[in-house]
Structure 1
Amino acid sequence: MDDGDAAHPAGGLVGRSEESALLASFLERAARSGAALLLTGEPGVGRTALLDLAARAAAASGTRVLSSAGAEVEAEVPFAGLHQLLVPVLDEWAALSPLHRGALARSLGYQAGPPADRLVVSTAVLTLLRRVADGGPVLLVVDDLQWLDRVSVAVLGFVARRLSGARVGLLAAARTEDDGSLPPAGLPEHEVRPLDDGAAAELVGSRHPAMAERVRRRIVAAARGNPVALLELPDQLSGRQRAALEALPPVLPLGRRLRTRFAGRVADLPPATRRLLLLAALEGTGDLAVLGAASPGEDWLDVLAPAEEAGLVHVDADTQRVSLRHPLTGSAAVELATSGDRRRAHLALADVLADQPDRRAWHLAEAAVGSDGQAADLLDEAAHRALRRGDGGRAVAALLRAADLSPSGAARARRLSRAAYLGARVLGDLRSVPSLLLQARRADPDGGDALPAALAAAVHLFLGPGDADSAHAGLVRAIGSALRGPVGSGDLDEALSDLLDVCCAAGRADRWPPLESATARLGPRLGPVLAVARSTRGAPARTTAADLSRLDGVLAGIDAEADPARIVRIGAAALAVDRLEECRPALWRVVWDGREGGAAGSAVGALVLLSRDAFDAGRWGEARRTAEEAVERGEALDHRLPAATATGVLALLAAAEGDGATARALAARVSSWAGPRGLHGLEHAAARARALAALAAGDVEEAYRQGTAVGPPGLLPPHLPVALEVPLDLVEAAVRTGRRAEAAAHAAALRELEVVRLRPRPALLAAGCAALAAPDDRAAACFEEAMAVPGADRHPFEHARVRLAYGEHLRRVRATGAARLHLAASLEAFTRLGARPWAARAEHELRATGVSRSPAGRAAPVELTPQEHEISLLAASGLTNKQIGAQLYLSPRTVSAHLYRVFPKLGISSRAALRDALTRVPQEAGNREPA
């Protein structure tokens, strides 16, 4: 019998919507005019579950269900299958003719006599079923047809071909053998395929919701969509293994049903073949050169031949590789081997792989008996290399196994703590941290201030509960302890980077001295990323040309960087000075890895950075999607701090679009979470969103109050990134509420910063604020300066706001023609962005100059769908079809097809003309999410 347990707890079958629809259609046809269907598929794929689903649905609709199931012990008993199927309708036999009644009675063992002619028996069965169907539809359900006796199969095939108009359905299921053969039933077939990865993960998660993500991925990969394997493999793991608190074995153990399926066939192989199959399972890549070297003196082609003939392996002589037909065949080979066999195989492979230290370390670890310091050290080194390659899951697994092999003490505690930290920071696994740290304390009771333990505790407190004070205290204490001894670069660099994160989020000047003291003490020994981030993130308002030069050096290597946590740190340093564009490809790599179950924690951080950059660059559709995904993924991982940060981006976006109610609600959500936790950096971000929402609504007094919540006029707190974001809001609100002195003081403070002369956005804001605060006779020069800033238009919202203010100034001084030019340009930009209140304000000002209808209102000859508009905007920004597809979850071919339709609509023939052509499109299309 195939698995019948692939049901979701909520009802229905996971990943079987196509089959469920097929069965519903089949049952309707069968009840109306007769039909037959054979479900085929590999063992454990869920055929029985589908039969049960159909039988329940049929019975619920009033159909009479007759069932039978083949059994190997009865496969040679003639008519055994028919007997099981027809016993429930014995009382209907009396209505048959004597010929048919007698044939059935002798064939099914109810009457002695010579065997009946098979045609007579087949006709009798068909007649009987038609008679039963006179009282209502009938469904025959036959499972494991491959084990039904041949005579019963032949009779059912005869019946199935003559069901037309009979209101009888025959639904059967049969196992596909490894050679692809099926019993000769002659029925219409539908192959039940294994579940896709998404459905497989859902099925495992429904049964084991607390399972760690990386363990779930391993189960899904090994099961290859087989529901029995997906449900049975996790049960063979310990609770600690399912929670990723212990390393998984290199080959997953089998349960009873899987052992019956896979181990029996491996056990039938010759001993030499089993030994080579064991080596192949443990080696993992199928490299015949390695296998041959690990089993000298054997002709691997001859030795593997029985396994190849049995359909268990495939040998490719051209590539010199052997592949297992199913990963669980390897599990079976491992289970059938003795512990001595497995140890000898691992040692043989370790000897052969001396030039591959990572693989050698794992084989030595698996061959170890009890503690083994050498193997633990080798695995520790392998973990560092895995992290540099960007494989956080492999790094954590290596550290956990190294901890298992370490004698109780500082080395074991350090490895457990390191695994906890990487699991939380990179993989997003906060749940494992307390248990791993408890084990670390038991291993080394005197190591309370050890840096790895402090790192893990801090990231757990900071990313989850958001306890910045406790995280700060723990890191400062541990960093101080580390600085009193020999200073190492790795853990200390990470500890200082985490302390920088805490200080930024805390948004308080008194949090910075310990970090400044430690970094000053280390001086040139600081890692390059930390050194840059300390300047650009730690004091963005004081960024210098030397800082930007160091950032250039870091950004030059980001495309080759593989460590996801390091990529996010570089991105955060770049975002603080508007340089994230150069990090986008690397950050999207992190996001895709996280979506596929890899660096899930780092992916949330990457999404937050990308959402902020997209907002600043005017890609508001992308900003919304990435921020919403960051919130969703952050909350799923219990990474509440990055989720709250992304919520702040959504609040800012809603404010800019004029949705004040949503902006205030989201900002309130951020503040209510951040306030009690002392996360003033988040509170300031929420205040900025409220200030912008108030400006959009015309409540300038409230805008001023919220703007000054970040800092008083004339003061730009150096450690607050938002201090370089809020000046335009604060100065505009100050001017419009009659506080010109305060506006001038803030504009002057902004002008004094060196970064204003180095980056377009601060330069634009400084000139724009100076223009707003200046008397009418000096304002025009400042506005012209703002408009002339190279690259300022890469920040379209703020650029349009300055341009709108310039147009308003020109209208007041009666330079009507010039005013129209700037007002029309700002209207176009606001409309394209979807900044409705600002567009309405520009439209009002434009009408005041005597223009009755805006250019944007006149030019609307075409209309694009929301998705066409989104794709066109991205293409106009210079992205390739592949890059667009990656952002919108579309294939490059689909992107190309959309652009193929867009070009004729816009009357253009090349991508180069997109930017100008899009200004003529009704902008409502760009303000809706793609369909």
Structure 2
Amino acid sequence: MDATAEDPAPALVGRAGDVALLTSLLDRAADHGAALVLTGGPGVGKSALLDVGVRAAGAAGTRVLSTAGVAAEAEVAHAGLSRLLQPVMGAWDTLAALHRDALATALGHRAGPTPDRLVVSTAVLALLREVAAGGPVLLVADDLRDLDRATADVLGFVGRRLPGSRIGLLAAARSGDDGFRPLAGLPEHEVRPLGDRAAEQLVTGRYPTMAPRVRRRVVAVSQGNPLALLELPAALTGPQRVAHQALPPVLPLSSSLRSRFADRVGDLPPGTRRLLLLAALDGTGDLGVLGAASPGEDWLDVLAPAERARLLSVDAGTRRVSLRHPLVGSAAVALATAGERRRAHVTLAAVLADQPERRAWHLAEAAVGSDGHAADLLDAAGERALRRGDVTAAVPALLRAADLGRRGPDRARRLGRAAYVGAAVAGDLRSVPPLLLQARRADPDGGGSLPAAMAAAHSRWAGEGDVDGAVTGLARAIEAALRGPVGTGDLDEALHDLLVVCSSAGRPGPERVLRATAARVGHRVGPAVAVALSTLGDPAHVTAADLRQLDRLVAGVDAEVDPARIVRTGLAALSVDRLDGCRGALWRVVWDGREGGAVGCATQALVLLASDAWTAGRWEEARRTAEEAVELAGARGHRLLALSGTGCLALLSAAEGDGASARALAGEVAAWAGPRGVRALEHVASRARALAALADGDVEEAHRQAAATVPPGTGAASAPVTPEVVLDLVEAAVRTGRRPEAEAHVAAVRALPAVRLRPRLALLAAGAAALTAPDGGATACFEEALAVPGAARSPFEHARVQLAHGEHLRRVRATGAARLHLAAALETFTRLGARPWAARAGHELRAAGMSRSVGAPAVPADLTPQEHEISQLAASGLTNKQIGAQLYLSPRTVSAHLYRVFPKLGISSRAALRDALARAPLPG
């Protein structure tokens, strides 16, 4: 079938395979006849697919005859057949008299005895063949469940005799319905529920402003049923759809859904409906709950009518009851009176006295008007849910608690808390303004709660980039909170938020506000935030005690369940190059966010993981993770987080030699961050531009961009998120003749206390120092840099220092040692995909007399090029001192390399080196 401008396939979400099947059927039917019966549950989309077939057939020139079951005519014989054949009554004259008379009598056009069913069916087949002589015909029958039996018998007769006729039959039947039996034996296709991705797409397309957590609830309850996906939101109120009000435990049905799902529930005996209502409101499927709620009653027998109606199933072995579809439960709730629902909730609350969270919800649903006790219980339940990382349960509990509390400070605080959790943890910035407006109306004279101020600040910072407004709002709110009773948890969260905002500012003004506020909080600061103030707040001056405390937090992060706490630990760890111990916990946060949990925390975790992967040389992982962060943050209006991911992509593009992309991405970041004073992001953009310029050989531009991140003479201290900028800056300064400036930068960095504690910063500081040192002292600085324990965990920077060392050694004519370092650098750059640096290392290798221009020299698979060179010299009988003199290394460095080589080769002495090297496998 040719595609046309009217091709209906794009209109159906997630149905490409079903539409392709219909297309194939229509092609076969137009050539030599074919039939297909679509089956599936109510609302799954059978009628929509029939419409697709009708439009496609019409567009292809096929004549379409259609009918559908009507409940009011289900007992009227041939009522559906009359509708089907009405358009071709004019062709009756071509039929034999027997067939013409039988049709006229069967369809009520003339009086007479009931004609034989076989004669009527044969007459219909003859009529359709006559019509099909002028072109293909498609018969369409929807709702076989309500189609009269006589018509269904005729369709079954015709459908089994279509080959060679150019007639197609397309019908739709509800799975398990008797109306399908006359068509038994015809080809079937079950229309399956939509997958989660298609379901999300369908709901988002119809309700684009729906809050993410509400959309997830609709998708979960609908279980891929398209009608439910479109109609359940219609039954919600406007505030419920955008998460400004809590959703009910069981979602209500629209009138359309009620007609599809409620009919069989309404036919049940009252006792059965009561137990079905209890099962729906309980939602756990625990038979023990139903038994406890029905003392003295043979409740399994009472449930039997619902089992026979295929509304639920009971497994006595596992003691579980399962509704066939969640909408069966919604139907049971919709058909119950308000009094019946309230009594059911009261009953369940009494049964669940030992489960405080579930009991709180049932008491809340049983409440009429305000109920302070139920509100307090739900408030506590929401906080417990939050501590275990269940944001999807926490926010609805807080909102419902606010509704039950009605007015006053408690309601305002709960609304503010829900707004903050929704924004910072769930990633829903859109809910913040209306919830805060409700909070102000609830307590107009209260001055606002600390959680409300945190929500407002997060919205300003993450969405609008209003750093100064967020800093001012948080500082004032913390100061106000300190004048009254405030929990340590709220203070910790607020102070940490202030720390993150000030760190993103990267300016002295917000920094002073942070320090003053932290001093006012004093001893009430929790240990995790105290560590973050030293690490994230000032990573260049971190102390050994700070790092020991951070290491204790990192050691326990795998046992942490609160996604916000995991992310806070990750932020502190990343700032001092210790994120590796948090990776597992951060990926848990990401996986939870992908499943619709703490999406806001998941986005932050993705940014952290992308930054860590970039530094650790896992560049493909960094790119994938950063792209996911950009997509996730952008979809929820988190511009700052989205641009953080964009900054990582800019750095990757610059290092890989794609200068055009690097500059475009960096320009996007700087255009947003610059006017808003988000200096941390500006620094990332400038560093990406500096790297791109270095890759292009434009050292003047590289110096201009690198100097924009660090004012002359201050080193890396003013740019804590990118301490590696010192190497870029010093290299550019030296190559542009600004040696005194470069020396000043080196002196400033070398004076930082953190240089002795952070391997990465030690590598960069010593490498930068080597670039400014005279030839006689450069070698010692390079050796110092490359001997830093753990320095190779930053492979790009490590290879850049190796490259610079090799260049220096070639200049002083130590070509043998130069080749060693240049080959190692080339191998790393090639593996990473850092093409400009690999080309530079290859050029230097050729200048040093090495003909091999790509990849490192062939060495045993487990050894680095430097380890291999040292091993060969040791195997030849040279001492460590002699090896060091030849390779411009200290004897201690040579010894350290051999210490690592022996276990790699499976030996324990120098005497075994020669044989071990001979038998060691080469790579590839």
TM-score (norm 1): 0.90
Spell out the pairing of 1:466-505 with structure 2 (5 A cutoff). Answer: 466-505=465-504
Spell out the pairing of 1:616-635 with structure 2 (5 A cutoff). Answer: 616-635=615-634
- What's the secondary structure of 2:321's corresponding residue? strand
| Structure 1 residues 632 and 522: CA distance shift in structure 2, 3 A | same
Amino acid at match of 1:687: S
Greater Cα offset, 280-289 or 183-192: 183-192
Structure-1 separation of matches of 2:220 and 2:558: 29
Does residue 1:465 correspond to 2:494, yes or no? no
- Equivalent residue, structure 2, for 1:356: 355
Please say if residues 8 and 14 of structure 1, whose CA atoms lie closer than 8 Å, have aligned partners that are also in contact. no
Amino acid at match of 2:347: A
- Equivalent residue, structure 2, for 1:432: 431
Amino acid at match of 2:781: C
Shift of 1:9: 11
Structure-1 separation of matches of 2:53 and 2:106: 29
Structure-2 separation of matches of 1:95 and 1:8: 35
- What's the secondary structure of 2:717's corresponding residue? coil
- Equivalent residue, structure 2, for 1:888: none
Amino acid at match of 2:104: A
- Equivalent residue, structure 1, for 2:726: 727
Structure-1 separation of matches of 2:160 and 2:448: 78
Please say if residues 539 and 720 of structure 1, whose CA atoms lie closer than 8 Å, have aligned partners that are also in contact. no
| Structure 1 residues 85 and 449: CA distance shift in structure 2, 3 A | closer
Spell out the pairing of 1:118-197 with structure 2 (5 A cutoff). Answer: 118-177=117-176, 182-197=181-196
Please say if residues 8 and 206 of structure 1, whose CA atoms lie closer than 8 Å, have aligned partners that are also in contact. no
Greater Cα offset, 55-64 or 756-765: 756-765
Greater Cα offset, 524-533 or 62-71: 524-533
Amino acid at match of 1:835: A
Shift of 1:124: 2.0
Amino acid at match of 1:249: P
Please say if residues 575 and 721 of structure 2, whose CA atoms lie closer than 8 Å, have aligned partners that are also in contact. no
Amino acid at match of 1:388: R
Larger Rg: 2
Structure-2 separation of matches of 1:607 and 1:8: 40
Question: Cα deviation per residue 1:875-912 (whole Å; 9 max; x = unaligned)?
Answer: xxxxxxxxxxxxxxxxxxxxxxxxxxxxxxxxxxxxxx
Question: Cα deviation per residue 1:782-815 (whole Å; 9 max; x = unaligned)?
Answer: 1112221121111110010000001101100111
Shift of 1:455: 0.7
Greater Cα offset, 117-126 or 833-842: 117-126
Shift of 1:120: 2.6
| Structure 1 residues 184 and 168: CA distance shift in structure 2, 3 A | closer
| Structure 1 residues 464 and 31: CA distance shift in structure 2, 3 A | same
- Equivalent residue, structure 1, for 2:879: none
- What's the secondary structure of 2:464's corresponding residue? coil
- Equivalent residue, structure 1, for 2:693: 694
Shift of 1:623: 0.9
Shift of 1:198: 1.4
- What's the secondary structure of 1:225's corresponding residue? coil
Shift of 1:919: 10
- Equivalent residue, structure 1, for 2:315: 316
Shift of 1:295: 2.4
| Structure 1 residues 738 and 577: CA distance shift in structure 2, 3 A | same
Structure-2 separation of matches of 1:185 and 1:551: 69
Question: Cα deviation per residue 1:326-366 (whole Å; 9 max; x = unaligned)?
Answer: 11111122222222222222122112212111111111111
Please say if residues 7 and 56 of structure 2, whose CA atoms lie closer than 8 Å, have aligned partners that are also in contact. no
- Equivalent residue, structure 2, for 1:600: 599
Structure-2 separation of matches of 1:56 and 1:82: 21
Amino acid at match of 1:349: L
Structure-1 separation of matches of 2:351 and 2:35: 56
- Equivalent residue, structure 2, for 1:787: 786
Amino acid at match of 1:716: G
Amino acid at match of 2:783: E
CA RMSD across the alignment: 2.2
Question: Cα deviation per residue 1:571-603 (whole Å; 9 max; x = unaligned)?
Answer: 111100111111111111111222222211111
Please say if residues 807 and 823 of structure 1, whose CA atoms lie closer than 8 Å, have aligned partners that are also in contact. yes
Shift of 1:768: 0.9
- What's the secondary structure of 1:808's corresponding residue? helix
Structure-1 separation of matches of 2:397 and 2:448: 24
Structure-2 separation of matches of 1:543 and 1:857: 38
Greater Cα offset, 61-70 or 252-261: 252-261
Please say if residues 503 and 511 of structure 1, whose CA atoms lie closer than 8 Å, have aligned partners that are also in contact. yes
Please say if residues 539 and 719 of structure 1, whose CA atoms lie closer than 8 Å, have aligned partners that are also in contact. no
Shift of 1:843: 0.7
- Equivalent residue, structure 1, for 2:674: 675
Shift of 1:676: 1.0
Greater Cα offset, 198-207 or 404-413: 198-207
- Equivalent residue, structure 1, for 2:78: 79
- Equivalent residue, structure 1, for 2:369: 370
Question: Cα deviation per residue 1:26-70 (whole Å; 9 max; x = unaligned)?
Answer: 101111111111111111111111111100110111110011112
- Equivalent residue, structure 2, for 1:576: 575
Please say if residues 156 and 182 of structure 2, whose CA atoms lie closer than 8 Å, have aligned partners that are also in contact. no
Does residue 1:648 correspond to 2:647, yes or no? yes
Spell out the pairing of 1:394-543 with structure 2 (5 A cutoff). Answer: 394-543=393-542
Structure-2 separation of matches of 1:253 and 1:264: 15
Structure-1 separation of matches of 2:177 and 2:550: 58
Question: Cα deviation per residue 1:298-350 (whole Å; 9 max; x = unaligned)?
Answer: 12212212212221121111122212111111112222222222222212211
Structure-2 separation of matches of 1:308 and 1:166: 44
Structure-2 separation of matches of 1:579 and 1:196: 39
Question: Cα deviation per residue 1:492-531 (whole Å; 9 max; x = unaligned)?
Answer: 1111111111101111112122322332343443122211
Structure-2 separation of matches of 1:730 and 1:573: 25
- What's the secondary structure of 2:240's corresponding residue? helix
Structure-2 separation of matches of 1:643 and 1:9: 36
Structure-2 separation of matches of 1:646 and 1:920: 35
Structure-1 separation of matches of 2:530 and 2:201: 43
- The gaps in structure 1 that reach 5 residues or longer are 1-6, 861-915, 922-931
Shift of 1:696: 1.0
Please say if residues 505 and 677 of structure 2, whose CA atoms lie closer than 8 Å, have aligned partners that are also in contact. yes
Structure-2 separation of matches of 1:181 and 1:533: 67
Structure-1 separation of matches of 2:628 and 2:920: 31
Shift of 1:257: 2.3
Structure-2 separation of matches of 1:357 and 1:130: 70
Structure-1 separation of matches of 2:792 and 2:245: 53
- The gaps in structure 2 that reach 5 residues or longer are 1-5, 860-918
Does residue 1:219 correspond to 2:215, yes or no? no
Does residue 1:339 correspond to 2:353, yes or no? no
- Equivalent residue, structure 2, for 1:254: 253
- What's the secondary structure of 1:705's corresponding residue? helix
Structure-1 separation of matches of 2:289 and 2:595: 31
Spell out the pairing of 1:675-824 with structure 2 (5 A cutoff). Answer: 675-716=674-715, 718=717, 720-722=719-721, 724-824=723-823
- Equivalent residue, structure 2, for 1:925: none
- What's the secondary structure of 2:14's corresponding residue? coil
- Equivalent residue, structure 2, for 1:558: 557
Structure-1 separation of matches of 2:271 and 2:664: 70
Structure-1 separation of matches of 2:920 and 2:649: 29
| Structure 1 residues 180 and 507: CA distance shift in structure 2, 3 A | farther
- Equivalent residue, structure 2, for 1:828: 827
Amino acid at match of 1:846: L
Please say if residues 842 and 854 of structure 2, whose CA atoms lie closer than 8 Å, have aligned partners that are also in contact. no
- What's the secondary structure of 2:310's corresponding residue? coil
- Equivalent residue, structure 1, for 2:662: 663
Structure-1 separation of matches of 2:582 and 2:9: 42
Please say if residues 540 and 719 of structure 1, whose CA atoms lie closer than 8 Å, have aligned partners that are also in contact. no
Please say if residues 541 and 723 of structure 1, whose CA atoms lie closer than 8 Å, have aligned partners that are also in contact. no
Shift of 1:857: 8.4
Structure-1 separation of matches of 2:209 and 2:664: 32
Please say if residues 178 and 311 of structure 1, whose CA atoms lie closer than 8 Å, have aligned partners that are also in contact. no
- What's the secondary structure of 1:504's corresponding residue? helix
Amino acid at match of 2:835: R
Structure-2 separation of matches of 1:769 and 1:718: 15
Amino acid at match of 2:93: A
Does residue 1:245 correspond to 2:258, yes or no? no
- Equivalent residue, structure 2, for 1:875: none
Please say if residues 537 and 576 of structure 1, whose CA atoms lie closer than 8 Å, have aligned partners that are also in contact. yes
Identity over aligned pairs, percent: 70
Shift of 1:219: 1.0
Structure-1 separation of matches of 2:618 and 2:209: 37
